[in-house]
Structure formats: structure tokens, C-alpha cells
Amino acid sequence: MGRRYYENCGEKLDNYCSKQAQLEEDGGGFYPNRGHTIMLTFNIIPTKTSKKMSIHIKDSEDLKTRLSEAGEKLVVIDFMATWCGPCKMIGPKLEEMAAEMADSIVVLKVDVDECEDIAAEYDVNSMPTFVFLKQGKKVEEFSGANAEKLRVTILKHK
């Protein structure tokens, strides 16, 4: 990226950290406030994925379509609720796994309050519940916000 910005000390431009410094070379060294300006350049490296990799399911027809589009990939259905604390806790970890393994898994999120019929079809009684499907057939299921178990199960079936 290597964008360059001038900035007065303490102010930020476009959330990038750059500084304008007044320096002067004097006898082989640089000293502040003597009339020369140097510009510092920072490369900004994103640390988080801004694009969500999971797909929010709207209804049972949407689920059927997404399952057929998945083909050979492992499908992870995350049955969750917006008010569920453990769901909020494991959600970002699942997004990281989805981004990391995007070539071999598909993550579908089903809000149990919006899609009660789908939750009933999969007999979901607690959240989060993860259902793992391969070519439309259930290969495993578990409930709880256990990130390590989630990762191990995905790796086992992908």
C-alpha cells in the first residue's frame, strides 16, 4: 500500500499513523526543529478480514440453494441467536476459520429466531449448535462455544 501522508504531530489523516518531523542535519546528526522536513512512510497491513466469509441464511429455500451450491465442500451450519453470549464469543473465531479454509468449507449462519422451521428440522435445542454436512448428509453435530472442538471437527471432515 505504501501511502504517504503529511500530518501535524498528534493529528491523524485517514486513520494512518504518519508524522511530519522538523529535522536538520548538523555535524553528521539530525536535530529537531532546525528547518528541514522529512516524511515518514508506513505500510499498512490489514490484520483482520473485513469481508464476512459466512453466509446468513434467510429461509429454508435459501438453505437448500446454498447446500446444493456447496458441492463437495464441507458445510458448517452455525445455529445461533443475536442475543446469545456464547454465539457472540465464537462467531469471530468461526469467521477466521471460514476465511482460512474458504477453499474447502462453506459456513452458513442460521438465526434460530428468524428461521424457527430450520432449527426445528435440525432439532436444535441450544445455541450455538454446529451441524456438519458433506454432500447434503450430516456427518457430525455438537453444541457449545468450543473453538478448539470446532476447528478439530472441521479439519476431520473437510
The whole model's pTM is what? 0.69
Q: What is the pLDDT of residue 39?
A: 59
Select which of 9, 17, 84, 115 is catalytic: 84
Q: What is the full DSSP assignment across the chain?
A: --------TT--BTTB---EEEEEEETTEEEESSSEEEE--------S--S--SEE--SHHHHHHHHHHHTTSEEEEEEE-TT-HHHHHHHHHHHHHHHHTTTTEEEEEEETTT-HHHHHHTT--SSSEEEEEETTEEEEEEES--HHHHHHHHHHH-
Select which of 9, 17, 87, 115 is catalytic: 87
150 contacts: CB under 8 Å, gap ≥ 6 = 90, 93, 94, 97, 130
Q: Beta strands 36-39 and 137-143: pairing type?
A: unpaired
- pLDDT, tens digit (0-9, with 9 covering 90-100), for 65-74: 999 999 999 9
**87 is annotated as an active-site residue:** yes
- pLDDT band of residue 52 (cuts 50, 70, 90) is confident
Query: What domains, with CATH codes, occur in the chain?
Result: 1-45 (no CATH), 55-157 (3.40.30.10)
Whether residue 86 is preceded by a cis peptide bond, meaning omega within 30 degrees of 0, is no
- pLDDT band of residue 42 (cuts 50, 70, 90) is low
Q: What is the pLDDT of residue 7?
A: 39
- pLDDT, tens digit (0-9, with 9 covering 90-100), for 84-128: 999 999 999 999 999 999 999 999 999 999 999 999 999 999 999
**115 is annotated as an active-site residue:** no
Q: What is the pLDDT of residue 82?
A: 97
